[in-house]
Amino acid sequence: MMTENYSKAFYALAGASITGIIGGVYYFYNLLKGEPELSDEIESQIEEISEKVHTGELSVDNAVKIMGMTNKYAEDIIKKSKPDIDFRRREVLNNEEEYEKVCFEYLECKEFSYQTASNAILNKFNISMEDLQKVLSRVAPYELEQRLYETEKPEFDDNNKSMDGETTKKAFIYYGTKFLQQINDFNRIMMQLSQGQQEFIMFKLLILKMRIDDELWFKFEINEAQMRYKLFEHKLYNDPEVKSLHDRITRFDESIGMQMQG
């Protein structure tokens, strides 16, 4: 069963996106039968910085690398456990009851995967989640997102790996406008609810967030993580329209994150 500490850990490790907030949604896990082994790439990265972490103060650079490794390992676990989860979720997008079931299945798997990944990676360095959070808190969310993409970029397929800047901007404006239109009222609603009700609303918020992401995919054949990376690749965060919209989304994300960790 999920604990408050793991909820905070998951939010910290999931990056800037609100997708990473599970909050107080409680359920039992369908445990994986053996997590995938650490890839050679992750093992090499661990070896590269291990001595520095063990013999000195944990630097921001190394904390970001550890966070990137953890995210990568968590995604590997999800892919092994639920290789068709994105396809199945999008397939029932217009069936609300079935869509919620698949979203719940995905969130359950994602929460477990991040717990497993954080335990496995952090134990390699003999550091705690609190140690990692303390160092990462020195970095602004925008900078943290950028540094994570420099460490580990999302996987692309042939349909979206060459998306140009103009299309990327259109995708972000579509996504950001829909995001703010549909969930901007959640923050106000949550403030009026009891803790138990807030947890239910947060779960509904996560489902709505995934729905917006899936609608983005159907329109542009790109998901949110890929789109955000493309914004960095094309240096679009300096575009006034993109920056204004991104700042509004970030403020909303931060307000929700503080409430869930408060």
At 27 the pLDDT is: 29
* Distance, CA of 92 to CA of 96 (rounded, Å): 8
Provide the 10 A C-beta neighbour count for residue 59: 13
pLDDT in tens, 25-38: 222 233 334 556 77
pTM: 0.77
* Distance, CA of 178 to CA of 212 (rounded, Å): 7
Non-local CB neighbours of 172 within 8 Å, separated by 6+ positions:
227, 231, 236, 242, 245, 246
At 144 the pLDDT is: 83
At 236 the pLDDT is: 94
**The pair of three-digit structure tokens given for residue 61, joined into one six-digit string:** 């650079």
**The pair of three-digit structure tokens given for residue 175, joined into one six-digit string:** 């996504």
Q: Pick out the chain residues at pLDDT < 70.
A: 1-36, 185-187, 189-191, 193-196, 198-199, 253-262
* Distance, CA of 87 to CA of 84 (rounded, Å): 5
At 49 the pLDDT is: 83
At 154 the pLDDT is: 85
At 4 the pLDDT is: 34
Report the Cα 73 to chain-centroid distance in Å: 13
